[in-house]
Amino acid sequence: MTNLKKVLGYRIGDFKSDDGNNIHFVHLFCAFPTDGVVGLMAEKFKVDSDDVLDGVQFGDYVELYFNDKKKIVLIQPVAPTPEDLKDFHEDVPEPSIDNIVEN
């Protein structure tokens, strides 16, 4: 089974904690196949900073890299293989005569 995640969206915001501190947060929402789930599992991940989201598009397939505090520090877009697409229940493009290259 694939280790990829599909980006569904993100949320950036601020709030004031009970002790009066201003807290900034970034959350990334992804879906992915996992054992024991029919369909895809959706999960919210904490992101280390706003900059980590630079270049991320909704619908991207990505690999996520975390720091020791379990916050995402790198989002690497990845082109899914046909097998990955099957894991995500996506249509796999049929081979086309246009994609055949003669040697």
CA–CA gap between residue 48 and residue 28 (Å, rounded)? 10
Q: How many separate domains does the chain show?
A: 1
Q: CATH no. for residue 18?
A: 2.40.50
pLDDT in tens, 42-54: 999 999 999 999 9
- Domain span at residue 60 reads 5-99
The model carries a pTM of 0.85
Predicted confidence (pLDDT) at residue 1 exceeds the cutoff of 90 = no
60 close to 77: Cβ distance less than 8 angstroms: yes
Contacts of 72 (CB under 8 A, 6+ apart): 28, 45, 46, 47, 48, 52, 64, 65, 66
Q: What is the mean pLDDT of residues 27-32?
A: 98
Query: Which residues lie below 8 Å from residue 21, measured CB to CB, with a gap of 6+?
Result: none
Q: Among candidates 75, 71, 69, 74, which has minimal Cα distance to 7?
A: 75
Per residue in 68-84, pLDDT (tens digit) is 999 999 999 999 999 99
Residue 45: CA count within 13 A, CB half-sphere? 29
